[in-house]
């Protein structure tokens, strides 16, 4: 069992930046990497970004490309999501999760979800 703890959320004005962190208690057997999802009220959970444990591969949703950057610190088993040029539509609860699938953007292919951290972007 892997535990994931997100932090770094908060309230920011449009155009601002936040950095989210996801600390993992370890690595699941067969794990490919850690990803970020978000869920706004009344909407389905959507993929944001994914990074392989090797750090050599990253994947992004089209809606965040060029604004968000995912990175990792293997020594700390921690993944970060740097979010720049934030927009009100980025407002959501952000979750990190573990996947065994390369390049996956499907929530059903992720295990060991964190509790989430709220990001609110005001206009």
**pLDDT over threshold 90, residue 6:** yes
Placement of tokens 């490309």 in the chain = 65
> What's the CA gap between 39 and 116, in Å, rounded?
9
If you average pLDDT over residues 29-39, what whole number do you get?
95
Query: What DSSP string runs through the chain?
Result: ---EEEE--EEEETT--EEEEEEESS--TT--EEEEEEE-TTS--EEEEEEETTSS-EEE-TTTTTTEEEEEEGGGTEEEEEE-S--GGG-EEEEEEEESSTT---GGGEES----EEEEEE-
**Percentage of the chain exceeding pLDDT 70:** 100
Beta-strand pair 33-39/10-13: unpaired
pLDDT at 1: 84
Is residue 20 very low, low, confident or very high in pLDDT (cuts 50, 70, 90)? very high
Q: What is the pLDDT of residues 47-89, one digit of tens each?
A: 999 999 987 899 999 999 999 999 999 899 999 999 999 999 9
């Amino acid at each position: 069992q892997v535990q994931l703890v997100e932090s770094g959320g908060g309230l920011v004005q449009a155009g601002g930046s936040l950095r989210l962190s996801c600390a993992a208690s370890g690595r699941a057997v067969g794990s490919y990497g850690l990803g970020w999802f978000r869920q706004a009220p009344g909407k389905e959970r959507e993929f944001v970004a994914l990074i392989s444990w090797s750090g050599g591969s990253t994947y992004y949703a089209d809606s965040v490309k060029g604004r968000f950057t995912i990175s990792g610190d293997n020594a700390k088993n921690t993944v970060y999501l740097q979010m720049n040029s934030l927009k009100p539509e980025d407002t959501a609860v952000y979750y990190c999760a573990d996947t065994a699938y390369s390049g996956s953007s499907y929530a059903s292919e992720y295990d060991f979800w964190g509790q989430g951290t709220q990001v609110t972007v005001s206009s």
